[in-house]
Amino acid sequence: MPLTHYPKTAENLVFAWVQPRPPGVAPEEGKPDFLGIPFSERNLFKDPIGAGESVVAYHDAQPFTRFYGSIASDQSLEVTITFSNDEVDDAGRPVSDDNIAKLHYDAEALRQLYDPKKQGPSGKYFVTIFGHWIRVEVKNTGDAPTKDLRVYVRGSVF
């Protein structure tokens, strides 16, 4: 059976932080391209997250009704998903890439405390949408920089 019956993943992969960073590889000739672009272009991982440090990403949440994903790391993490319902920033300007980080993200949907020793209960999540804009923060609460990190955020309308 050909692989074309698999759902396409490009539309629902909102964020991904994957360390070690996989190389950018073009799809094989004659096989489906589920992402539409090399994963290396979707992966937000840049550098190991130091102890006590965070990485943050923002996105329009409106195409989805819920978010789900998985968390794995060699360090303890705190993953927080919050939403903003602001239509404009404090200066009255419409939301754009330049000001999305300055909105009020006061609708907390999730504060997941990931424990690498308890992958089963702490390595997955599912949240309902609570606003127009989504903010995802991944904070290293361990005592060393991350060596292995896989945090995926996917959106769904079902």
pLDDT the model gives residue 5:
41
The residue-averaged pLDDT of 56-78 equals 94
Residue 21's pLDDT is 87
Tokens 């991944």 label which residue? 138
Q: How far is the C-alpha of 110 from the C-alpha of 153, rounded, in Å?
A: 12
76 close to 146: Cβ distance less than 8 angstroms: no
Secondary structure (3-state) at 136: strand
Dihedral sign for Cα atoms in the order 20, 25, 31, 32 = positive
**CB 119: neighbour CB atoms within 10 A?**
14
Share of the chain above pLDDT 90, in %: 68
- Sorted by where each starts, the structural domains of the chain and their CATH numbers stand as 8-23+37-150 (2.60.120.680)
pLDDT > 70? residue 102: yes
